[in-house]
Amino acid sequence: MRIEEYQINLLLKKVSAEEEAMLKNVIHKQFGVSVGLTPKELSEMKLEVLTPLLNMLRGLVLTKQHKPDIRGAHYSLQSKSLPRKVVFGRVDNMDSQE
């Protein structure tokens, strides 16, 4: 078993069936080949298809694990009074310092 196959098998445990179907569809559109995600089908897959599949799967899992809580951030900002004006300090001319 190649390392890519092993990593894909581990990552597939973290995605839903709907997300698996989406990955299959993207690979089919991009490379024009139908892919299966069983260990046997992964072992028969070319490395040129396996590597992008692994990278997409890594990105999907990473996004799911570390997605920001946008609603929570929005509600926390509503309770704070934020300044309406931003002021920066004086910036000296870089040419005059040389």
pLDDT by residue (tens digit) across 61-89?
999 998 888 888 878 777 677 777 888 88
Q: At what angle do helices 47-65 and 3-12 cross, to 10 degrees?
A: 30
Whether the per-residue pLDDT at 94 is higher than 70: the answer is no
Whether the per-residue pLDDT at 97 is higher than 60: the answer is no
**Rounded alpha-carbon distances, angstroms, from residue 55 to 7, 28, 86:** 10, 15, 40
Would you list the domain boundaries of the chain? 3-67
pLDDT digits (tens, 9 = 90+) for 12-70: 999 999 999 999 999 899 888 888 899 999 999 999 989 999 999 999 999 999 888 88
CA distance linking residue 23 with residue 26, whole number of Å: 5
For the chain, give the number of residues. 98
